[in-house]
Structure 1
Amino acid sequence: MNLETLAIQVTRFHDANASAVTTPIYLSTTYERDSEGNLPKGFLYARGNNPNRDLLEKSIAVLEGGAVGFAFGSGMAAIAALFQALKPGDHVITTPFAYYAAQRLLVDVFEPWGLEFTLVDTSSIEEVEKAIRPNTKLFWLETPSNPLLHLTDVAALARLAHSVGAMCAVDNTWATPVLQNPIALGADVVMHSTTKYFGGHSDVLGGALVLAQEGELSLKLRQIQNLTGGIPSPFDCWLITRGIQTMPLRVKTQSASALPIAQWLEQHPAVERVYYPGLESHAQHELAVSQMKNGFGGMLSFEVKGGLPGAKKVAGALKVFTQATSLGGVESLIEPRKIYEGPDSPTPDGLLRVSVGLEHTQDLINDLEQALAQA
C-alpha cells in the first residue's frame, strides 16, 4: 500500500458508538470495569493508555515499519525516555551536530545521573569506531542533522552498533518516514518530534519513539512512559493523528520547493554557503540519494556575509517568511540559529535555518531576493 493511502487508513478509528468518520476525542481519565472487575476494552487510566494515544502510537509504528510505538508530550520527553532506559555507567555515542537541546539534556541531566557520552562526527565511521568503549550501549544519530544538515550512514552505523552489542537510534524528525526509513536501514529505534511534520500546523507539541521489535526495551519504555507521565493529551494525539493524514502530501511538496530555493541561494552573491543534501555540491549528496527517497526534505540552511548581524538583518527584512523557532508547519519559517544555540555551538554565526512551507516557491524566492538585497 502506498504511503498516501497508508497515512489515511492507519489513522482511521472505527467508531462503534456513532459510526463517526472522523475519530472521536476520548477525554475520559478513567474507564469502567465490567461486573467481574475486568477491563473489556483494555483501558484503565489515561496515564497508562487512551484510545487516541493508542491509535497514534500504532499509526506511527506502521508508517516507520516498526513493531511498537510510544507517544510522549514532546520530542525531548521521548529522547529522555530512551536515555532513562539505559543504566548509570552506560555510554552513548552521539554527534555535536545534532539538536542542541538533546546535547544539553545529556550534559545537564543525564551526565550527573551517571550516563557517559562522547561527541563525535558520526559521518565518519572511523571516528565512531575510535569512540566505542566496552560500556557503549547506544548510538544516538540524527540525519539530516539540525541545523547543518550533516548526514550519517544509518546502515553502516547500525551494523557497527550491533557488532559491539549496542543499539542504534535515529532522530528522523527532519526526514519523516516519507523520505527515510531508518528501521529498514537497520536502526533499532526511531525518534520523532511529532510537533513538526507529523502535526504539521504549528499547533501541537508531541514526541514519539518507534522500536523495530518488541522486547526488553519496549517493556522498559512502557513502564517509563506510565510512571513518569510525560504523555500527550487526547486532543494532542487527535491533532497529530489528523496531521499524519496529509503529511505525505505536505512533505513531498515542501521538499519539491526546497530544492529550487537551495539552488537559487547557491548562486546568490550575498550567500556564502548553502546546506542542503539535495544539492550536488553537498559533500554527502550521494549518501542522500541512496538513503533518502521522494526528495531531500523541506529544511535547509544558508550562511550570509556579515556574521550574526548580517543574518539578523536578512531575517528581519523578510515579509513572506516568518521569523520564528520550530519547523515542519505549513508556513515558511526562518531564524538566525546562533541566537538560540549560544556561543559554544558549532553553528556558524551567519547561518539562517529555513523551514520551507507550502507557499508558492517563486514567492519565497522573491522574498529572499528582496531581503538579501538589503544585506
Structure 2
Amino acid sequence: MNDHILKKISQIIIDSARKNETIEYNQISKQLGGAILPIRLNEPLGEISFRCIKHGFPPLSSIVVSHDTGFPGEGFFTWVAAKMGHPDLAPSKWDDFYSEQKNRVFNCGDWDSFIDQAFSSKKGTGKVANNVDLNKILASKGYLQGEQTQYYILTVKAFYENQQKGPYKYHVVVLEGDRILIQSTIEDNEKKQLLTPAKRKGIQLLLNYDSGIVFEEIKMMHYKPDRKGTELWEKEPSNSLNELILEERSLMLQQLSEEDIDSEKAQEESYYKDGKAIQYYGTRYERNPFNRGKAIAIHGVTCKACGFNFEEVYGERGKDFIEVHHIQPLYVLSEELEINPEYDLVPVCSNCHRMIHRKKDKILSIQELKDFIKKTPQ
C-alpha cells in the first residue's frame, strides 16, 4: 500500500480523533475522492494500526466504524487485538476493548509525532531511539541457563533507562525449547515500570496455549540491555513464578466462569434490552412440556450428539430423561412461533446441551458438536 495514501487516511482519522468523533468507512472513502471503496479499507486500516502499535500509539482503526453497527469491523477485534497481545479476545469482551481503545485514541495528544515516526522517509530521524535487536537476543540463547525446561517465558526490555521519551516497550516471548510459540509486546507512552505487566502477559499467553501446564515445566527469564555487570539475563525466582502462575490461573478460571454464567443468562429473553429486536438462542420452547413430549416421542431419549442414554447409565432413575435443544434462533419481541418438534427440536444430553450454548456468540449445530467430539482423544 502506497505510503502517501496511508498517510492521507491517517490524517483523515486523526482529524476526527481531535474532535473526539468516530468516522465511518464511507466518509473516509468520500474524503479520498472515491480512490478506495469503503469495502477495500480494511487492508490500509490494518497497516495503519500496525504502525500505531509499533510506535507506541493506540490503533487509529478503533474509531473507524460501520454505518450499520456503529462499531469497527471484525478484523479490529481479531487481527488488531492479537497484535496488541489479545490473540483470542472473547466476543463478550469486544465492547470493553472497543471503548478502551477509542478513548485512548481520543485522549492521545501527540498524533503529529506518530505521523513523523510512521511515515518518515529518513532513517534515524525518529524521536525515540531503540537499539535492542530481539532476533539477535533470541539467537544468542542466553536464556538457556542451568537445567533446561520445556517452556520458557522471556521478557525483553526494549529500551534503556536513559531514554527520555516513550513509547517504552517490553517484548514478551513464549518458547517451547527454542521454538517460538507466541510473541507479544507491552507498551506505555509514559511508564517505564512494565516488567510486572510483561510477566503476567507471558503467563497468560502460555496458559491460553496450554491451560494444564505444570509449574515445573516453566522457566521465566528477563533480559535488560542496561543491566549492571556482564550477565544481561536474570531468572525469575521459583517461588514468585509459582505465585504468579497460581494468580493468573485463578483469574482465568474466574473469567471463564463469568463467561459461562453470561452465556446461560443469554438464553433468556430478559437478558436483552427492552425494545431491541435481536436474534438469540433461547429456552422458551425447549421448556414447553408439550413440545418436549412430542420431540421425545419422535426422536427418542438418546443424545443425538454423543449417543448418551440416561437409563443405560442411571437405570430406573434415568428412564425417559433427556433435554431438548431448539435448533433455530429466536427473536426477542417476535410473535409466538409454531414449533414442529420433528424438525425444530432435537434430544441432547445435559453435557452436550451445555457445550452447544457455552459461547453465546457461537452456538454450535449438532454436527459441529459431533465434529468436536470426534477430534477429542477418548
Indicate whether the TM-score tops 0.5.
no
Q: Give me the TM-score of the superposition, normalised by structure 2.
A: 0.23
User: Which is richer in helix?
Assistant: 2
Structure with the larger RCO, 1 or 2 (CA within 8 Å, 6+ apart): 1
